Structure 1
Amino acid sequence: MNKVPQSKITQYRKLMKEDLGEHYIHPQDVNNPLFIIQNLASYDKYSGDIIYTPYVSVNTDLMNDGYLDINMPKGLITLMMAIVSHVDKEGFAFPSIDRLTEMTGLSRSTVLSYIKTFGNNSIKGRTLFYKKRISRGKGKFDINLYYVPACTVVFTDVEDLQTDEEKLLSLQRDVECIHAVD
């Protein structure tokens, strides 16, 4: 798979922000979000990689108020949760159609249909998500860039959620592992 360099991702975000204009709202400034994403950061001791685990909540008050009514397709919320589970700190996500299909269990044609129908379109005065397809030229795959204006995103280090006792036990296990290797 062709990995997209961070510099290109930054460039694509900038292009979409320009296209969105006043419709771009930084996730920390969103009032009454439909989705709340809590990303927990943990560390793989062996590879040194940071692993982000997203937890997505849906604001049921908005659903109960009729924002997403009974006539909406049943898989739409599932698709939205899959998209927002990829959202970064600026509200952008880059999941492929294949990834969304895999995560939701929806068919490829259903995912494409929902994206075409609901992307960039207002529902009761709010847009669920904006989509921009970025063509990268011959021999490179296109990228689907999504911006979800109705979400807030929080990043939390897993260690910040641990009690002092849990942190101490974790350190003791690490020391025991080091001594076991020696």
Structure 2
Amino acid sequence: MGKITDKDIQKYKNLMKKQLEERYIKPEQVTQPLFIVQNIISYDDWTEDVIYMPYVSTNIFKIYNSGYLKGLPNGLITFMQALCSHVDKDGFAFPSVDRLAEMTGLGRSTILSYIKAFANNPISGKVLFYKQTIKRGKAQYDLNMYYVPNCIVAFTDIDDLKTDEEKLQLLQQEQNETNIFEMPDITDEDYMDEVS
């Protein structure tokens, strides 16, 4: 199976944007989103990898009080939150059906039924998400690509979430660690030099 590169993803996103035409809304143009994804960025000191932890909040007032999803399955919000947790800064997501089922605790058949019923179909005049399947050719798996128009994504460094007191404690701890004297290891050669 062929690996999907960042260049491929960008090409697929551009293709879908073109097909959506005026239905594609840049995330910065969304004024009252249904979903807000706050990605907390941290760093793994061992691997030096950047780690993104998405937190999805839902505009409950707009969804429930306006009657937008009245009469629809309760699991739909859970599904949408899982889908939104994969959304990138342009509003696109690429999770597999199995990944969405694992995250939500919903059955694979339920996830597939939600995708079939709600992808590209308006609810009260608004589409929750658009889906396009990218056929990648022989011996390569197809890619499901989603666009969520009512979702915005923000990124915050984990250090920015610390209070001033936590930052001060961390600074003091680092200073204390640099002032600690560590006894050097003694090797057999050092011991032999002392004995002779």
- If the length of structure 1 is used for normalisation, what is the TM-score? 0.91
User: Alignment partner of 1:152: what SS?
Assistant: strand
Give ranges in structure 1 of 5+ residues lacking alignment: none
Aligned equivalent of 1:153: 153
Aligned equivalent of 1:118: 118
**1:68 and 2:74 correspond:** no
**Structure 1 pair 142/106, CA: closer, same or farther in 2 (3 Å)?**
same
Task: Give me the whole-angstrom Cα distance separating, in 2, the residues matched to 1:43 and 1:171.
Answer: 18
Shift of 1:172: 5.4
Shift of 1:173: 5.2
Q: How many residues align?
A: 180
Shift of 1:171: 4.9
Q: Report % sequence identity.
A: 58
Q: CA RMSD in A?
A: 2.1
Give ranges in structure 2 of 5+ residues lacking alignment: 185-196
Aligned equivalent of 1:57: 57
**Structure 1 pair 80/26, CA: closer, same or farther in 2 (3 Å)?**
same
Alignment map for 1:87-102 (pairs within 5 Å): 87-102=87-102
Larger of the two Rg values belongs to structure: 2
The runs of 4+ residues in structure 1 deviating greater than 4 Å are 171-175
Aligned equivalent of 1:84: 84
- If the length of structure 2 is used for normalisation, what is the TM-score? 0.85
Task: Give me the whole-angstrom Cα distance separating, in 2, the residues matched to 1:44 and 1:7.
Answer: 26
